[in-house]
Chains A and B, each alone.
Chain A
Amino acid sequence: MTASYSSPSRPPFALLRASALLGLLLLGACGGESATQTPQQSQVPQGAAPQDSAAPAPPTVTGPVVVYSSRQEYLIKPLFDRFTQETGIEVQTQTGEEGPLIARIQAEGEGTFADVFYTVDVGNLWIAADKGLLRPTQSDLLERDIPEHLRDPQGRWFGLSVRARTIAYSTERVQPEELSTYEALADPQWKGRLCLRTSRKVYNMSLVATMIDRIGEAEAERVVRGWVDNLATRVFSSDNLLVQAIAAGQCDVGIVNSYYLGQEQQRDPNIPVALFWANQDSSGVHVNISGAGITTQAKNPEGAKRLIEWLSTEEPQRMFSELNLEFPANPAIESVPLVQSWGDFKPDLINVEVAGRLQADAVRLMDRADYR
């Protein structure tokens, strides 16, 4: 059919009639659903993914591991390629938004292709576990490599990299001494000087969820209302834009994930924005994870476990730091120099699981406070 677009010499109507006929044929096939299936699916093995999607992997370690991931391909593919090189186990990925991916695993039920669900933010992992989509896994290696507060108490998911959501400030207009905690950004001192990203981003949901756990719902709501009162401009749709806005002078402080500042620093090493580690005298910086779990209906749980275990070891942990400027979840591994340049900090050691449990409460709270 594509040929009809590139052969101008033939009269278009003949082509049209042909394509209409073809269309009718396709349509005719629609009645017997599987008929249209086979020819298209048979193309799949010739493509990049060698495995026919209609035939799930046999439950052996040698079969491929299928990963449903909301992490972007350019961040994870280098890792998986390395894994395949080392172990000979192939990895297939299906990337997408986390909500639809969870819905898909759930709808697919016992027939799902997914062996591993890999996503960012504990809120997403928590909901997948809560819906019974992830199975408990016992692994001495993971329990040794991944600190306790970065994994599910029941072993359904494991943090693999860590990001800190903290305060970014203008080095031109703010002295670090003026800063202390997330809560203090609600003080009138910051009126018209604060930038925030949209409350719809799960990172902010998790931040507020841990705050609810820490200081209670009423106090958390007071803080969020204070933030909203202090906003210099509309909330942003991305952390990158927010950092750029601080640099350009639209606002003086904001709350961002550490690696976004890193991205902007890579682009412009002299960008007049720095990170301040929040809540160092109290709870510690809010940290979140990217993490993975093995699906309840995994066809290749052995391969899945090997993949997750491998991801907690030295080389991939270092790669996390290089690829996305995150902190390794394994405390034995050092970050890249740029990440180290931000200095050491005290993280909030509360189990990140709370962010998932209280996420819906956080969303409702932010809605009430008119944080958009």
Chain B
Amino acid sequence: MPARPAPVGSGALQLPGGWRVLGIAAALLVALPILMLLSQWATLGNGEQAIWQHLYDTKLDRLAGNTVVLLLGVGVMVTVLGTSLAWLVSVCDFPGRRIFDWALMLPLAIPGYVMAFVFLGLISYSGPLQTWGRNTFGMDFWFPDLQGALGVILVMGLVLYPYVYMLARSAFNAQGRNLLDAARMLGLSPFGAFWQVALPVARPALIGGGALALMETLADFGAVAVFNYDTFTTAIYSAWYGLFNLAVAAQLSTLLLGFVGLTLALEHYSRKHARFTLDERSRESQRFRLRGARAWGATGYCLLVILFGFGIPTVQLVLWTAQTWRGEMDSRYPEFLLHTVELAAIAALAAVAIALLLALIRRMPPGRWRWLEQLSVRLATLGYALPGSVLAVGIILAFTTLDQGLHGIIGQRQVLVGSVFALILAYLTRFMAVAFAPLDAAFERIKPSLCDAARSLGASPGRVLRRLYLPLLRPGFLTALIIVFVDVMKEMPATLIMRPFGWDTLAVRIYQMTSEGQWERAALPALTLILVGLIPVLLLVRQSARRQGQTAD
């Protein structure tokens, strides 16, 4: 069925009011660290003002400019890569398509900071590429300047495009070919059909994926630090580590959030309640078969992206691991691995459960507390743009206050700070957007008329939820679970500061080596992290393959 705008409010979920309370409570818990950071604006004394003035005088404009360049570059790169690749594998057929379909998700398993140090190691002046060039062509050998903005954009674009790719791919798959055939019959060229029909219909997915990628870019300090590319996060760290003012650091980071919140709100407004619902349908047999140069061009393009996004970094890590693993492998390795997986699994489950609640309360009929629901959902999904260590401080501030209260009641100190619970909350705040986006997108694709029909046939709200929504939401669930799982595995700064005693993870291990410039020694934990990250990514692949298989018969 073609795209069809539907009035908002129809098909609203009728659930008991308790859900609403539970949802708002969960959203506020997730938003707690953000609220703590906002409260830092209360501290705006002379010292803070002097630092603001200094930052303004010396570098804030340059940092803001750098950040905009980075956002634009990464935004264009992830959108172009993600959309074009998703279009190719879901609508066309060419040699290797079935493999590329899942292999293009692999870069998701590579943490940005790992990609950055591998890339920099390869392209720096003393790295193998330039050394080879100088030895072969002499000292005047020209090599593109990849150590500035361009390099950072390439690195971040390569690790972040899968967000757009995944969401775009499922959107294009869901559109099926009927829509395109209709467009072609109405006289559009193949490109016109893509540009004027497929793309606008996939827009929520593209925006959703792009927003995730850009929020991750804003929050990143790992990759930009390796390249020494100064962004807005640099100002945060400079205020904190250099000028010793945590309040200004927190204030700066809330500005990031304000910027993100504003952008998302604008986007939401520009969509103006337009809503597209489609039948989930995909037909293997109906792909456009590419031939000759076009087919090989498509194959070559996909191959190139996988080579740079996954092949080269993995090979480099394997080579480094081969040099260093004897010294690095110790008896604690299984423990690092176990902690990594445990934390990721707990956080993924909790995040998806809360994201479901948030998506549900957004769809309940408007009530008196509408504004609170909307606001708390918004706040709860902003944390993705927050640098992990700043976020961690928000949690520590909140929990030390709570701990002091608890001390009076149960007589134990420091129950919350330094607990697994605090760390999980950090993950929830940081990655709620990642869990929420695919779930919310899955909700969007459910036709409101279905719900109305079920209700008119006498199904109770609970039954509608169980029998209608949950099955239809399944793909969104799995995507959310898996992305959060992988993201938590890769998360470094918040884990570093908040992990309970003895809870070292692979990411912590990587940090310990890279912070001393020992990149080769970081290769073993990095490679392990990637391999473990591959398991859920492959699961995701399998599940989407199964879905296609089911609908094709």
Chain A residues with a Cβ under 8 A of chain B: 1-2, 5, 12-13, 16-17, 19-20, 22-24, 26-27, 30-31, 33-34, 36-37, 40-41, 44, 47-49, 51, 53-56, 66, 72-75, 92, 94-101, 103-104, 107-113, 127, 198, 200, 202, 205, 233-241, 244-245, 247-250, 260, 263, 359-360, 363-364, 367-368, 370, 372
Contact = CB atoms under 8 A, between A and B. Distances in A.
Contact of A239 (B29, B356, B400, B517): B517
17 contacts: A2-B345, A5-B535, A20-B470, A23-B356, A26-B349, A34-B410, A48-B332, A74-B513, A99-B240, A103-B396, A104-B497, A237-B226, A247-B126, A359-B244, A363-B242, A370-B58, A372-B228
A20 B241 contact: no
B417 A107 contact: yes
B230 to A, nearest CB: 6
Given A20-B353, A74-B512, A97-B389, A248 B421 contact: no
Interface string B131-150: 10010000100000001100
Contacts of B269: none
Interface string B475-493: 0011001000000000001
A103 B518 CA distance: 27
Contact of A23 (B240, B353, B400): B353
A40 B419 contact: yes
A47 B335 contact: yes
B349 A99 contact: no
A247 B127 CA distance: 11
Contacts of B543: 12
A53 B389 CA distance: 21
Interface stretch (B260-268, B401-409, B442-450): B401-409
Interface of B: 22, 25-26, 29, 54, 58-59, 120, 124-126, 130-131, 134, 139, 147-148, 225-228, 230, 234, 237-238, 240-244, 246, 332, 335, 341-342, 345-346, 349-350, 352-354, 356-357, 389, 392-393, 396-397, 400, 402-404, 406-407, 410, 412-421, 424, 470-471, 474, 477-478, 481, 493, 496-497, 499-504, 508, 512-513, 515-518, 535-536, 539, 543
Given A53-B501, A111-B407, A368-B58, 14 more contacts: A5-B535, A20-B353, A26-B350, A37-B421, A40-B421, A41-B419, A41-B420, A44-B500, A73-B504, A98-B241, A99-B237, A237-B120, A241-B120, A263-B517
Nearest to A249: B139
A27 to B, nearest CB: 5
Give the top 9 A-B pairs by smallest Cβ distance, nearest first. Answer: A23-B353, A49-B502, A248-B126, A240-B517, A244-B126, A100-B497, A111-B413, A40-B420, A363-B242
Given A26-B350, A202-B241, A37 B396 contact: no
A55 B414 CA distance: 8
B477 to A, nearest CB: 6
* Residue with the highest number of chain A CB atoms closer than 10 Å, among B134, B416, B421: B421
A107 to B, nearest CB: 5
Q: Is the interface of A mostly helix, strand, loop or mixed?
A: helix
Most buried by A among B357, B413, B416: B413
A241 B242 CA distance: 23
B243 A100 contact: no
Contacts of B357: 27
A23 B512 contact: no
B539 A200 contact: no
Contact of B346 (A26, A92, A198, A238): A26
B53 to A, nearest CB: 11
A34 B406 contact: yes
A141 to B, nearest CB: 29
Contacts of A33: 402, 416, 421
A47 B415 contact: no
B415 A5 contact: no
A157 B397 CA distance: 26
A56 B413 contact: yes
Nearest to B515: A72
Nearest to B139: A249
Contact of B228 (A98, A198, A202): A198
Given A27-B26, A111-B407, A248-B125, A54 B131 contact: no
A200 B416 contact: no
B474 A234 contact: no
A241 B124 contact: yes
Nearest to A246: B126
Nearest to A363: B242
A322 to B, nearest CB: 14
A34 B417 contact: no
B417 A108 contact: yes
A163 B420 CA distance: 37
A363 to B, nearest CB: 4
Contacts of A263: 517-518
Contacts of B396: 103-104, 107-108
B496 A17 contact: no
A103 B502 CA distance: 20
A111 B400 contact: yes
